[in-house]
Amino acid sequence: MLNRDNLLRHTAIKSIIGILLCVALFFSSGVQIPVLDSTADTYFRDSISKAGISYATCRVINATVSIIKESSLELEPAGIGLSLAVGQAVDPINDMVERLSNVLVMSITSLGVQELTYEISLTLAPQILSVFLFILSILIWFKNDRVFKLQKIIMSIFIIVSIARFCLPVSSIANEFLQEHFFEQKILEANEGLAHGIADLDKLKEVTLPKYDGFLETIENSASYLKQKSIDFKKAVAITVENRDIIVENLLRLTFLYVGIFVIQVLVLPLLIFWILVRIVNSLFLTSTITSMIPTHDSNETHNG
């Protein structure tokens, strides 16, 4: 009789504690953990902002290259050779810009989805946990095999939701470390090299190219005017050719870096952190938690006997 009273008392205490925690969790929706969540907020905001700046730079280069290619068409048929030179010079730049733009869009989109998932988990996870905890606090009073199996399922879901809540903040700490100690400096150097190349490339937009207005009109133009404009355009082509390798090299470096960021920080680390947390919980807490919260069927028979 005494053992039965103790069992009921322990069950009541666990149920009351569970319900109190359930209420606390329900009203803690959106509450941030000081270090963990603030790091996640900073990481997502900075990462998306920096990727956005690189994407804007790509758009500037793409716009400049488009202007150059469209302007070069004005030379035809009077300056077919110069037009081909411009096309050959800017085509590799244009190709790399398009590839980097695609990678950046993919990275920004993935980071945005992760940030949205994190914000949803920050809001909904406490309420979902409170519901499952309330169900466990009620089911703890029932002692049969079916309820025991249901309790195990609910406990597993409870732990998975808890891990999902903390997975992205924990992975953001690792991502922040990688960003600060590996990616950030390399991206900064590539952007600086790219900015230098763009500064020279942008001069091409200031060149007024000679227009072909028909045979008679062209003949009427002064020879000195055509000569000066041809010289200006040849200088512009020389600038493009001279800086093409630097621009393409830095665009290629940025492409590799952002592919690395996407693979490591957006795919590998969150999945790895989630797996590690699941393993830790399974090995350290899951068995002991279920054992302590859910009395076994055999022990109940012993007490009843």
Q: Which distant-in-sequence residues (6+ apart) come within 8 Å of 295 by Cβ? A: 7, 11, 143
In this structure, of 76-80, 181-185, 248-252, the range with the lowest mean pLDDT score is: 76-80
Contact 51, 104 (CB under 8 A): yes
**What is the percentage of the chain residues whose pLDDT exceeds 90?**
0
Rounded Cα distance, 58 and 93, in Å: 10
What's the rounded Cα separation, in Å, for the pair 288 and 279? Answer: 14
Task: Flag whether pLDDT at 295 surpasses 60.
Answer: no
SS3 138: helix
- 148 domain residue, yes or no: no
* Residue ranges making up the domain that contains 108: 36-126+163-294
The structure tokens 């009620």 sit at 138
Task: Please give the Cα distance from 9 to 4 (Å, whole number).
Answer: 9
Q: 33-63 burial, b for 16+ CB within 10 Å, e for fewer?
A: eeeebebbbebbeebbebbeebbebbeebbe
Separation between Cα atoms, residue 66 and residue 94, nearest integer Å: 8
Does residue 19 lie in a domain region? no
- When pLDDT is cut at 50, 70 and 90, the band that residue 98 belongs to is confident
Sort residue 30 into left (φ over 0), alpha (ψ -120 to 50) or beta. left
**Least-confidence region, from 88-97, 168-177, 210-219, 248-257:** 210-219
**Quick check: is 250 in a domain?**
yes
> Tens digit of pLDDT for each residue in 128-175?
888 888 888 888 888 788 888 888 888 888 888 888 888 888 888 888
Half-sphere exposure of 171 (CA within 13 A, CB side): 26
Does a structural domain hold residue 10? no
d(CA 204, CA 235): 9
Q: Is 70 within the bounds of a domain?
A: yes
pLDDT in tens, 50-84: 888 888 888 877 777 776 666 554 444 444 455 55
Rounded CA separation 217/39 (Å): 66
Q: Is the peptide bond before 77 cis (omega within 30 degrees of 0)?
A: yes
Asked whether residue 15 is assigned to any structural domain, the reply reads no
pTM of the predicted structure, to 2 decimals: 0.66
Q: Measure the CA–CA gap between 216 and 213, rounded to whole angstroms.
A: 8
Residue at 285 is within a domain: yes
260 pLDDT band (50/70/90 cuts)?
Answer: confident
DSSP secondary structure letters along 32-96 = PPHHHHHHHHHHHHHHHHHHHHHHHHHHHHHHHHHHHHHHHGGGTTTTHHHHHHHHHHHHHHHHH
* Spatial CA neighbour of 257 closest among 42, 54, 44, 46: 54
CA angle, residues 165, 171, 174, in degrees to nearest 5? 150
In a domain, 257, yes or no: yes
Alpha-carbon span 181 to 269, nearest angstrom: 16
What is the number of domains present in the chain? 1
- Per-residue pLDDT tens over the stretch 33-48: 888 888 888 888 888 8
CA atoms of 245 and 95, how far apart (whole Å):
13
CB hemisphere CA count around 269 (13 angstroms): 21
Cβ proximity of 190 and 170 under 8 Å: no
Report, as an integer, the average pLDDT of 267-288: 75
300, 301, 303, 305: CA torsion to nearest 10: 160
Helix, strand, coil shares, percent, the chain, to 5: 90, 0, 10
